[in-house]
């Protein structure tokens, strides 16, 4: 059993594990790494970053026991606990099973560093243990502080490195990411933990709770985009947002965001010409130019490979990130935005990185985005996903437990299907089969047998629903509703009266 610490802290609103442990270590006057040992999060000299995104039940219990918390509070100190609607933090992202280690090294989760608001750090400096580092600052779509109406900072004003980071080597490559940068050093939570230079150099130590100059103010488009992205990231199961004129799940919306950014990067400077009224487009142009440099150029000691990332990732630098996200949301907010996207998509060379990524992402985007990709990039129909009727892709593998899916869906599970003008009994049977396919990747016949649905009933529902889906708009509406049913099933778990299989 883990021995409780002599003193602890209540987690602050929006705080996640790195900031919480940093405050607690400062209060107890111990190294963050030593605190990690006491909480059972590490046994060696490295503080694994995977704990940032998810804790298993045993880890959460040990953290709770040591820090005098409830296990639910420990789970809430992860990014997955605070951003349930953010797709890159899901186990079943883009049809692939990903581990916490994979997520902790994904460019769509800025685990290598954290942005920050100097004013927020100053405002919370009076709290026990020191100021609070907000968990949302770790996510690429969080680029401004609405409370103080400013874009977030990301560099230390003294060393000019990413402030809350383990730093990068002299050749421009990131040092291995850790849950808390420089974990063996005792530093006030407001101090820069970036380690400039080579070898076992000490962290910078500059205080970050004071601005070094006037803050950058967001444009109205940036503020609107930030709110739209934050709404989707914190969305619970069944919540819908708008993308390209359709109501879709938060999962589809964020996949649309990623596809749009790939299209903008790959076709640049078309967007710069089409949206000339957007401010700060020159910063995005500089970012894209850095991405297009050769490997040798952008990983050299004087290069900027440490912040450029890749074509599929948003910028690390806050201003181009804010501009690019605002442009992306502007396109997705437009019901005719697929026409704009078609111009960018059609300009992509078939061998480009963006083209290849879009081929992989298309089946996991909203129906409108998938159709835009198919029409412009000329993907094979199998790769394009919707509106293909069969098979149903395993989009929820690892999240949806097939043992909780009954052959007859409970009424409240099937509520999203009730608005569809389809034969009710066959549609619900078909939906149950598809849920098993979404959870397991089984064939349609195998999924029906798993649910103990007679093959005659399978054939009847297949013929009926296939014919119904051929009418314009039905396939897209059905997939949208089906994803909402899946989210309800995930949130509830085993339905009342359903037996586990």
Q: Is 111 helix (H, G, I), strand (E, B) or coil?
A: coil
Tokens 């605070």 belong to: 82
What stretch of H or E contains 59? helix 57-67
Q: What's the gap between Cα 63 and its chain centre?
A: 24
CA 384/CA 372 separation, integer angstroms: 10
Cα angle 442, 448, 451; round to 5: 105
- Residues in CB range of 65: below 8 A, 6 or more apart: 1, 2, 3, 4
The model carries a pTM of: 0.76
Spans of the chain, pLDDT less than 50:
294-296, 298-308, 379-389, 496-501
- Residue 109 is given by DSSP the state T
- 246-249/240-243 β-pairing: antiparallel
pLDDT of res. 284: 92
Are 319 and 283 a contacting pair, CB within 8 Å?
yes
What stretch of H or E contains 92? strand 92-93
- 96-97/92-93 β-pairing: antiparallel
Structure tokens of 196? 């400039």
pLDDT tens per residue, range 164-195: 888 777 666 677 888 999 999 999 999 999 98
Q: Is 107 helix (H, G, I), strand (E, B) or coil?
A: coil
CA 26/CA 31 separation, integer angstroms: 8
pLDDT of res. 171: 65
Query: What one-character-per-residue DSSP string does 232-250 give?
Result: HHT--TT-EEEETTEEEEH
Query: What one-character-per-residue DSSP string does 260-301 give?
Result: HHHHHHHHTTHHHHHTTTSTTHHHHHHHHHHHHS-HHHHHST
Query: What one-character-per-residue DSSP string does 130-181 give?
Result: S---BGGGGSTT--EETTTTEEPB-B-TTT-SBSSS--B-TTSPBPPPBSSS
pLDDT of res. 406: 92
User: How far apart, in Å, are the Cα atoms of 326 and each of 87, 232, 390?
Assistant: 19, 15, 36
With b meaning 16 or more CB within 10 Å and e meaning fewer, what string describes 85-98? bbbbbbbbbbbeeb
Short-list 501, 483, 1, CA closest to 239: 483
Structure tokens of 483? 């994803």
């Amino acid at each position: 059993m883990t021995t409780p610490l002599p003193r602890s802290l209540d987690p602050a609103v929006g705080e996640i594990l790195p900031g919480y442990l940093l405050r607690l270590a400062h209060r107890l006057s111990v190294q963050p790494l030593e605190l990690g040992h006491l909480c059972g999060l590490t046994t060696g000299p490295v503080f694994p970053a995977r704990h940032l995104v998810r804790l298993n039940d045993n880890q959460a219990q040990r953290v709770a026991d040591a820090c005098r918390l409830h296990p639910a509070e420990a789970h809430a100190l992860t990014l997955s606990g605070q951003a349930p609607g953010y797709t890159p933090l899901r186990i079943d992202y883009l049809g692939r099973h990903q581990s916490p280690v994979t997520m902790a090294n994904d460019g769509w989760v800025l685990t290598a560093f954290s942005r920050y608001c100097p004013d927020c750090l100053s405002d919370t400096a009076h709290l026990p243990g020191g100021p609070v580092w907000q968990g949302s600052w770790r996510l690429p779509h969080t680029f401004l502080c609405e409370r103080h109406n400013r874009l977030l900072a990301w560099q230390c004003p003294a060393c000019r490195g990413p402030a809350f980071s383990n730093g990068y080597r002299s050749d421009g490559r990131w040092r291995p990411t850790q849950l808390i940068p420089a974990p063996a050093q005792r530093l006030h939570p407001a101090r820069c933990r970036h380690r400039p230079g080579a070898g076992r150099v000490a962290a910078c130590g500059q205080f970050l709770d004071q601005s070094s100059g006037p803050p950058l103010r967001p444009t109205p488009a940036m503020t609107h985009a930030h709110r739209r992205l934050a709404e989707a990231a914190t969305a619970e199961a069944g919540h819908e947002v708008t993308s390209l004129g359709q109501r879709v799940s938060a999962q589809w919306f964020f996949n649309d965001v990623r596809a749009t950014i790939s299209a903008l990067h790959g076709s640049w400077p078309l967007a710069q010409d089409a949206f000339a009224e957007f401010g700060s487009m020159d910063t995005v142009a500089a970012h894209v130019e850095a991405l297009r440099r050769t490997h040798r150029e952008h990983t050299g000691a004087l290069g900027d490979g440490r912040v450029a990332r890749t074509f599929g990732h948003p910028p690390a630098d806050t201003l181009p990130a804010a501009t690019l996200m605002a442009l992306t949301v502007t396109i997705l907010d437009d019901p005719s935005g697929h026409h704009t996207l078609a111009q960018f998509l059609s300009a992509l060379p078939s061998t480009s990185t963006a083209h290849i990524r879009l081929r992989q992402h298309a089946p996991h985007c909203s129906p409108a985005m998938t159709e835009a990709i198919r029409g412009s990039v000329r993907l094979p129909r199998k790769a394009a996903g919707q509106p293909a009727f069969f098979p149903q892709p395993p989009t929820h593998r690892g999240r949806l437990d097939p043992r909780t899916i009954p052959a007859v869906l409970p009424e409240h599970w099937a509520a999203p299907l009730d608005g569809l003008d389809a034969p009710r009994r066959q549609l619900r049977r078909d939906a149950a089969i598809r849920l098993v396919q979404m959870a397991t990747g089984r064939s349609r016949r195998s999924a029906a047998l798993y649910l103990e649905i007679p093959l005659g009933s399978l054939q009847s529902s297949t013929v009926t629903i296939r014919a119904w889906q051929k009418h314009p708009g039905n396939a897209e509406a059905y997939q949208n509703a089906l994803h909402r049913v899946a989210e309800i099933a995930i949130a509830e778990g085993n339905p009342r009266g359903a037996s586990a299989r």
